[in-house]
Amino acid sequence: MIKEQEAGEKTADVCRRHGISSATFYKYKSKYGGMEPSDAKQLRALEDENGKLKKLLAEQMLPFRDIAPRYPIGHETMRCCETSIQKNGDALGKRKAVVHLMEVHQVSHAIARQAIAKQSAERGRACDVLQIDRSTVRYLSRRGDDAELRDAIKRVSRERRRFGCRRVHVMIARDGFEVNHKKVRRIYREEKLQVRRRGGRKRALDARKPMVLPDGPNQRWNLDFVSDALTDGRRFRVLAVVDDFSRENLVLVADTSLSGQRVVRELDRIIAERGMPKTIVSDNGTEFTSMAILKWVQETGVNWHYIASGKPQQNGFIESFNGKLRVECLNETLFGTLGDARETLEDWHEDYNWRRPHSALVNLTPMEFLQRKTMDKMAA
């Protein structure tokens, strides 16, 4: 290649024909320039032989701790074993290190068909090198495979992809499995079902007063909008209404346009079924500050509270609900038409109120929580 380039051929053409980069070519030229091809081949052969000799010398000069000379272990094996123990940090990691040592250097498995006494001696040699108790290597787990429990955990994780380990434990307990949460966590991690949590930006912390929780239904409702898009790119909005006491989702209304008059109609429909709330909380969006809303508030006498501008934490209940709606429904589904979106939201609305446990309600569903409160009130 160097001769061809010196003869007047372009460097790019030489590199293209021989399949190398120009940087590699100039590296070769700086190293082998001025030599005959036979001299260059001899130099490369000497370098390869020198590398092999260095490797053999390293294997002999870097024994793994105090292992016998007949079983020399080099730096790579030492690093692999120590990394296995450090990474796993338990008996499993130590057993892996011992197995690696026996397989690579034929300490035990290479003579597996020989006498049991010799196997024990060679296994003992590997354990002595890694400073591991022999009973740790000989131990065989008696733990069952828990196939039915594993299937239940994987089924819940597939159905509810944004549920973490604790809520999965609640769901399988509702299905009749009496199992400790630590066992569920172990299987959950073995099956690699962890949910990746998105990191948020750091914010300045300040002393905050906890939001006062209502002591009964229909005392305070929360309203907000959530936006999403169809597969063809058209945007639509979802009006969400939540009762702060029971966390019950009162309605999910999806449409391409939701004006203040539409909000009034939906509120009248909910009030006809459930009764009048004492307070309604919302942000300062144009739909909630429209003349239609102000007129409706004046006529009904409902206390409508607007949160401070730029302070969504003052409307924390509906913001929390919006996050669940986003990650468990909207982000998990593709909507072809507005009808598909409405049907999916209706199914999720029913599932949220009747089947999905809520951690703030002692892992009860909103409807179960209401029923229990009603029974307690009647008993009192």
Kindly report, residue by residue over 279-334, the tens digit of the pLDDT.
999 999 899 999 999 999 999 999 999 998 888 888 888 999 999 999 999 998 99
Give the pLDDT band (50/70/90) at residue 206.
very low
Give the pLDDT band (50/70/90) at residue 72.
very low
103 and 109 Cβ atoms separated by less than 8 Å: yes
- Quickly list H helices, 19-160: 22-32, 37-61, 75-88, 91-105, 116-130, 134-138, 147-159
- Please return the burial class of 181, using the count of CB atoms within 10 Å of its CB with bins 0-12, 13-18 and 19+: middle
> What is the pTM assigned to this prediction?
0.59
**What percent of the chain has a predicted confidence (pLDDT) above 90?**
37
Token pair, residue 49, equals: 């032989």
